[in-house]
Structure 1
Amino acid sequence: MRFMFLNHSAQRHSPQLEAHIAKLLKSYASPETTFELAYPEDLGGGAVLSLLEERKALSGLHHILETPALVKKAIEAEQKGFDGVIQSNTFDPGVEASRLAVRIPVIGLLRASLHFAATLCDRFGLIVPLETHIPHTARLVQTYGMSGFVSGIRTVGLYDTGDLSGYHDVVIQRTLEVGKELVAQGAQALIPLGGKIYPYVVTPEELEPHLGVPVINTKAVGISYAELMARSKIKHSIKAYPCPPGLDPEAVSRRVN
């Protein structure tokens, strides 16, 4: 099986981080599964992303603006014979729109992880990097019909655009603090969001022994979900996601004169 692991923006990772990501992905996958790290074009939302990152005010606006480029990349993946697309970002940018454009699986880590957690417990908590992530996350959860399972959303108040490896200890500290709060308030499992932090800097396996509840690895869940769909030849319902055949990726960004 061959999957496109699609970054949400055109900003490329360093070669060192790419190598780290590739190693992690392989550790979560079946031996025969391969991944191609891919980046969309910047069709106009890159400046907004840079501004929101600079102000640490990531609200979901950048993901909305990135959607056309992500749809275009999903169409390219289908044409190149990939078995599916896994969106690397844990807030599922472009996933719903891409499912309307292709018939290969397009996997959103958030939606997959919400449903996975719901098979393990009755109520779970979400942990996000910034306070500005909370409203967007709550809206996504509501859209997916999963609000009744979520006991609360908390933030660790951490985000940076550069190398985050030096943040390991403070991420552990803050995640344990908010994680214990969520557990005390009724969470029976936790889903840490923000893929650049979890699991790239801190793995759920480091957190779970200190929290006493399952801590969901969104990347591992997404990969297993994608493999299941590809292996079983299951696709998104055509009734839920009507998809016209033969879309041209260039049509996504081409203007009609």
Structure 2
Amino acid sequence: MKIKVIMPITSDIFNEEILQEVNYYASESTEVGVTSLDYGPASIESEYDEALCVPNFLEKAIEAEAEGYDGIISDCFGDPGVKPAREILNIPVAGACESSMLFASSLAKSFSVVTVLPNVVPMIENISKTLGVNGNLKSVRYVNIPVLEVHDKDRLKKELYVEMTKAIEHDGAHALILGCTGFMGVAAELQEQLKQAGYDVPVIDPIFAATKMLESVISMGLKQSKLTYMTPPSKERIKA
């Protein structure tokens, strides 16, 4: 199968790392492609950024289907463009946040998310409500590190661990989700570190979750329901 990872940002600083990560997570027979946007925000840290990214994200999604890809991942924890893409495509579209929350809800009765900045907390809470798992979401904490600065892995792991222990001890989380797809390569280490501290809980990497969710849906021969994600009515639409 072929899956296309669309980075809904103009910055390409994550492209090579995300290609390596998804290739590592995916089955050996899965072919992975990665692309970023031609226009839009450099990173997504607000509803405004998310709105700006959607037009070119949808154009990239249409291109991917035309190129023969079997499914698409929106590589941002805000799941930008996922729902409109499901309306216009005949291949499945996976969101990192949706996939992570569904896995967390199947593994524990409660979970918390640790994300980048306070700006995105309401966005994540809204996704949990739309998905119907908001009753399981105990908290959304943040490390106060901008998306484009998460490459400092030592600082990132230190700050994530602090907030994760608070989520367990104070908020009642039984599972943890990394709330940014830029938090690559740290989930397993943090999970082991928490276990050594007496907290044997799953730590979910969102791009890993999205990859496996998408592969499963494709393998099952499934895609989004067209009763839910109906094809948009035909009409004139003027583009900039």
**Which among 59, 79, 89 is matched to residue 72 of structure 1?**
59
The residue aligned with 2:168 is 183
The residue aligned with 1:3 is 3
Whole-Å separation in 2 of the counterparts to 1:110 and 1:143? 11
Helix, strand or coil: the match of 2:107? coil
**Which among 93, 113, 128 is matched to residue 106 of structure 1?**
93
**Is contact 1:68-1:253 (8 Å) kept?**
no
**Is contact 1:71-1:252 (8 Å) kept?**
no
Distance 1:215 1:231, change over 3 A: same
**Which among 190, 214, 219 is matched to residue 207 of structure 2?**
219
**Is contact 1:72-1:252 (8 Å) kept?**
no
TM-score, normalised by the number of residues in structure 2: 0.90
Whole-Å separation in 1 of the counterparts to 2:54 and 2:25? 27
Alpha-carbon distance, 1:3 to partner: 0.9
Amino acid of the residue matched to residue 205 of structure 1? A
Q: Give unpaired runs (5+ residues) of structure 2.
A: none
Q: Give unpaired runs (5+ residues) of structure 1.
A: none
**Is contact 1:113-1:221 (8 Å) kept?**
yes
Helix, strand or coil: the match of 1:90? coil
Same amino acid, percent of matched pairs: 26
The residue aligned with 1:172 is 157
**Is contact 1:109-1:221 (8 Å) kept?**
yes
Alpha-carbon distance, 1:160 to partner: 5.0
Within the alignment, does 1:117 sit opposite 2:114 as a pair?
A: no
Whole-Å separation in 2 of the counterparts to 1:25 and 1:253? 36
Whole-Å separation in 2 of the counterparts to 1:4 and 1:168? 26
Alpha-carbon distance, 1:244 to partner: 5.5
Distance 1:38 1:204, change over 3 A: same
Whole-Å separation in 2 of the counterparts to 1:141 and 1:224? 20
Distance 1:144 1:159, change over 3 A: same
Amino acid of the residue matched to residue 66 of structure 1? C
Whole-Å separation in 1 of the counterparts to 2:237 and 2:124? 27
Alpha-carbon distance, 1:240 to partner: 0.4
Whole-Å separation in 2 of the counterparts to 1:244 and 1:20? 35
**Is contact 1:123-1:150 (8 Å) kept?**
yes
Distance 1:95 1:160, change over 3 A: closer
TM-score, normalised by the number of residues in structure 1: 0.84
Helix, strand or coil: the match of 2:148? coil
**Which among 23, 27, 40 is matched to residue 26 of structure 1?**
23
Whole-Å separation in 2 of the counterparts to 1:188 and 1:136? 22
Amino acid of the residue matched to residue 175 of structure 2? A
Amino acid of the residue matched to residue 25 of structure 2? Y
**Is contact 1:103-1:243 (8 Å) kept?**
no
Helix, strand or coil: the match of 1:147? coil
**Which among 186, 193, 201 is matched to residue 203 of structure 1?**
186
**Is contact 1:128-1:153 (8 Å) kept?**
yes
Within the alignment, does 1:140 sit opposite 2:127 as a pair?
A: yes
**Is contact 2:15-2:36 (8 Å) kept?**
no
Helix, strand or coil: the match of 1:194? coil
Helix, strand or coil: the match of 1:161? helix
Within the alignment, does 1:241 sit opposite 2:218 as a pair?
A: no
Alpha-carbon distance, 1:157 to partner: 0.9
Consecutive aligned runs of 4 or more in structure 1 exceeding 4 Å deviation? none
RMSD of the alignment, in Å? 2.1
Distance 1:253 1:41, change over 3 A: farther
